[in-house]
Structure 1
Amino acid sequence: MPAAGLALLLGACGSESGAGESLDGKSFLSVSVTEDGKARQLAPNTRIQLQFMDDGRLTANAGCNSMGGKVATSSGKLSVKDLAITEMGCDPPRHTQDDWFAKFLQGEPSWKLEADKLTVSQGGTALVLQDRETADPDRPLDGTKWSLETVISGETASHSTGSEKAHFTIGGERVTGSTGCNEFQGVVARTGDKLTFGELSTTRKACTGDAAKLEQTLLGALKGELTYTIEAGRLKLRAPDGNGLDLTAG
């Protein structure tokens, strides 16, 4: 599905509170969410992220789709109206969480920054976030077991039950892993933010059904040159056409 259009620009922008605090250039990850004094359970393996750009934009993620637009933070409020939201397909828990969080952001919640903790609240809901690099440092590419989370194909993000059984680990110029059915190994080279995978050899166990489809998808994605980025415990691999894989640190 196509991505939604850009949000309309708000008349007021910038990120200075009345107290002189600035959110520019800061990124935060959720550490707790409460509603009416009770903990709200987030979708499995998700955390809410807010990133305040130096040009006055806010980008956010609640587990699946990306959200963003111009933000005004005067008078201790986050004013993000007409939010731009991508429309990737998500599993029901993450879809529901995206809807809830988008409405929360559009309700002009109050914010307060104390040291590396940001509290955003609206009505009976309070979201506490911490500086991203403190809350969840970037994992190293080498030696980390990266488990498959999401397959990106065009504007669709898909997650299959059992996909977390597919994983790989990079060590120097070697990559070893599992498709969830067969084990594999091969050579990988890196230049800057690029990884180039050579031909992968696999064991010969017969795979059927969803396991066979997952194996075909994974091995098809780990071919040639891919751009990689690591943020906290998430590794993104993207081919030149934008397709790729999202993986999480095991």
Structure 2
Amino acid sequence: MDPRARAVPLLAVVLLGGAAAAGCAGGAGAADAADAADVGPTGTWQLSSGTVDDAALPRPEDARATLDLDDGEAGGTAFCNRWFAGYELDGSAFALSGIGRTEIGCAPEVMAAERAYLDALGAVDSLATDGEELVLTGDGVELRFTPVAPVIESPFTGTRWVLETLVDGPTASSTTGGPATLEVTAEGTLTGSTGCRGLTGRVAIEGDMVRSTELRAGQEKCPADVGAQDRHVVAVLGDGFQVSVDGGRLTLSGPGGRGLVYRAG
């Protein structure tokens, strides 16, 4: 996927209809196969297939769509953005309300798939299970989901992290270039890349703070479209940063509102 359309406000959301939900669902992991007439399936589900008016729902390569269900709150990923909603379940009758999303720009084909997925969710009026699959249907719509295993929290050290998002004050943008990675050992050795140049160094870990004692970048010349990302990564890692790990997601918060968001690779 090459989602690099633009940087937008990190906290911006777009409401797609109805009243806003209370927030994103907290996806508990593997699905609970409880009977739909009671509390319904909960947890995190990934879209495995979908049709709208007998046409296959677009599913971009290297992107995924998910559905989190948790006690009346729904959410997930819509190939690019996070989405959120409320939901009601009465027997097999199922309805989402107040569907909204964040507003990070991705490649046109990814955004088109996102719109199609969210429109399909808005048309759903029934929920059922088919073996291990969760099936949502509506007028001309069928969406099939498979359960997602729970994410085991990854420690900061000893994990290979892959960069997903650059944060600069109130804005966030997606990555470009090759995979930008980060690995830090318990002994403080740092290796990785900016998406253009390799990185090596040493860090001192003090609780949730990490301070660079040495940071060296390769001598490769970065293309113009990767240069800004390269400088951003080097600045955050070189200036010292605060570490926050949430499941398989790592957030590095540096001075001046700059930061980096990685996923466990």
- Could you say if the C-alpha distance between residues 58 and 217 of structure 1 is closer, same or farther in structure 2, counting changes exceeding 3 Å? same
- Match for residue 113 of structure 1? 129
- Match for residue 13 of structure 1? none
User: What is the letter of the counterpart of residue 215 of structure 2?
Assistant: S
Distance 2:49 2:229 in 1: 34
- Match for residue 162 of structure 2? 147
- Match for residue 4 of structure 1? 14
- Match for residue 66 of structure 1? 82
Unmatched tracts of structure 1, length 5 or more = 11-15
1:19 to 22, 37, 41: 37
Q: How many residues align?
A: 235
User: What is the letter of the counterpart of residue 14 of structure 2?
Assistant: A
- Match for residue 212 of structure 1? 227
CA RMSD in angstroms comes to 3.4
Higher strand fraction (1 or 2): 2
Distance 2:48 2:124 in 1: 21
1:72 CA displacement: 0.8
- Match for residue 247 of structure 1? 262
- Match for residue 61 of structure 2? 44
Question: TM (normalized to structure 1)?
Answer: 0.75
Is 1:126 aligned to 2:142, yes or no?
yes
Is 1:159 aligned to 2:174, yes or no?
yes
Distance 1:155 1:205 in 2: 31
- Match for residue 196 of structure 1? 210
Question: Is contact 1:17-1:76 (8 Å) kept?
Answer: no
Distance 1:7 1:184 in 2: 50
Question: Is contact 2:164-2:261 (8 Å) kept?
Answer: yes
- Could you say if the C-alpha distance between residues 18 and 213 of structure 1 is closer, same or farther in structure 2, counting changes exceeding 3 Å? closer
Question: TM (normalized to structure 2)?
Answer: 0.71
Distance 1:32 1:143 in 2: 35
Distance 2:107 2:230 in 1: 21
- Post-superposition Cα deviations, 1:10-43, rounded to whole Å, max 9, x if no partner, equal 9xxxxx976335234x221223334566754422
2:95 to 51, 59, 79: 79
1:225 CA displacement: 0.6
Is 1:89 aligned to 2:105, yes or no?
yes
My pick for the range that moved more, 237-246 or 169-178, is 237-246
Question: Is contact 1:65-1:87 (8 Å) kept?
Answer: yes
Identity of aligned residues (%): 20
- Post-superposition Cα deviations, 1:45-97, rounded to whole Å, max 9, x if no partner, equal 2221111123x111121122222122112242331133122222233233222
- Could you say if the C-alpha distance between residues 107 and 35 of structure 1 is closer, same or farther in structure 2, counting changes exceeding 3 Å? closer
User: What is the letter of the counterpart of residue 13 of structure 2?
Assistant: A
1:159 CA displacement: 2.6
- Match for residue 178 of structure 1? 193
Unmatched tracts of structure 2, length 5 or more = 1-8, 22-33
Q: Secondary structure at the match of 2:144?
A: strand
- Match for residue 28 of structure 2? none
Question: Is contact 1:237-1:246 (8 Å) kept?
Answer: yes
